[in-house]
Chains A and B, each alone.
Chain A
């Protein structure tokens, strides 16, 4: 009888130990990512003279497109550029200012929204300014601002 009691005690202790080892708990994690759009201008554009001084263009030899990175955390976002209407500073007013944006191999005119996907999108921005027909831009520094919009 004594041996049976000892055996039962050992068994109950063993069961209790097993129960403690099998205990589990779930630790939950929650987080929210806000829907945002971010633009970082990586590089300003450079205008170069072309067509005998009639055109200042970032696409001309010596010119360079501006570059920006658009980052979104959601879908249904568009980017677009708006052409300037005047120089910020410059000795000769232009007859026309035409901006466009390029994503990958696709170039889109100013005012036309382009859909961007989730994450980073590299956007190149170009500007072509033309003086009145038969005239040239006078020497000096020219500066224009192209607005890049994410919405």
Chain B
């Protein structure tokens, strides 16, 4: 657990340059930014996104990462991947994506709304996906 945390912190430090290249701003609905290109000198690149809750009530949000063919990427690290958001609130999520040996990686980072246990589920699940490209230098 401790080594995982250490790795996460070091990866954040390593990816801080890449994060700084992204547009900043938290006044978004659902998720922003939706596009981005990140250059990194490490084995990992970092993306900072702002999922938001446009509803008038609290929602549970899950973060997911997919590749260009919409296949789940398992070894992505999120600063938070399952959390609740109050009405009209947003929060920052830092996503660390490994290059896995390639020089360019295209990923979708998605915000998915999930119902609370015991509540009647929405039978339409909203999924907001930003497209990001990581380039290794």
Q: Which residues of A contact B (CB under 8 A)?
A: 32, 34-41, 44-45, 66, 68, 71, 74, 77, 88, 125, 127, 143-151
Q: Please tell me the number of chain B residues within 8 Å of chain A, measured between CB atoms.
A: 28
Q: Is the CB of A149 within 8 A of B124?
A: no
Q: Is the CB of B123 within 8 A of A145?
A: yes
Contacts of B34 in A (CB 8 A): 35-37, 74, 77, 151
The chain B residue with its CB closest to the CB of A34 is B32
CA distance A45 to B32 in the complex (A): 28
Majority SS of interface residues in chain B? loop
Contacts of A148 in B (CB 8 A): 124-127
Which of A35, A44, A88 touches B33 (beta carbons < 8 Å)?
Answer: A35
The chain B residue with its CB closest to the CB of A43 is B124
Contacts of B127 in A (CB 8 A): 39, 147-150
Q: Which residues of B contact A (CB under 8 A)?
A: 23, 25, 27-35, 50, 52, 54-55, 108, 110, 121-131
CA distance A45 to B123 in the complex (A): 7
CA distance A144 to B28 in the complex (A): 30
Contacts A36-B30, A37-B34, A127-B123 known; list 11 others, CB within 8 Å. A34-B27, A34-B28, A35-B32, A36-B29, A36-B31, A37-B30, A37-B31, A39-B126, A145-B121, A149-B128, A150-B129
Q: Is the CB of A37 within 8 A of B128?
A: yes
Please list 10 pairs of residues, one from A and one from B, whose beta carbons are closer than 8 Å in the complex, sorted by A's number.
A34-B23, A36-B31, A38-B29, A38-B128, A45-B123, A143-B121, A147-B124, A149-B110, A151-B34, A151-B108
Contacts of A45 in B (CB 8 A): 123-124
CA distance A144 to B35 in the complex (A): 31
Minimal beta-carbon separation of A101 from chain B (angstroms): 10
Given contacts A38-B54, A38-B128, contact A146 B31 (CB under 8 A): no
Please report the number of residue pairs spanning A and B whose Cβ atoms sit closer than 8 angstroms: 89
CA distance A143 to B119 in the complex (A): 13
CA distance A151 to B66 in the complex (A): 12
Contacts of B54 in A (CB 8 A): 38, 40, 71
The chain A residue with its CB closest to the CB of B56 is A40
Q: Is the CB of A44 within 8 A of B123?
A: yes
CA distance A144 to B123 in the complex (A): 6
Contacts of B110 in A (CB 8 A): 149, 151
CA distance A44 to B34 in the complex (A): 26
Contacts of B29 in A (CB 8 A): 36, 38, 71
Minimal beta-carbon separation of B13 from chain A (angstroms): 26
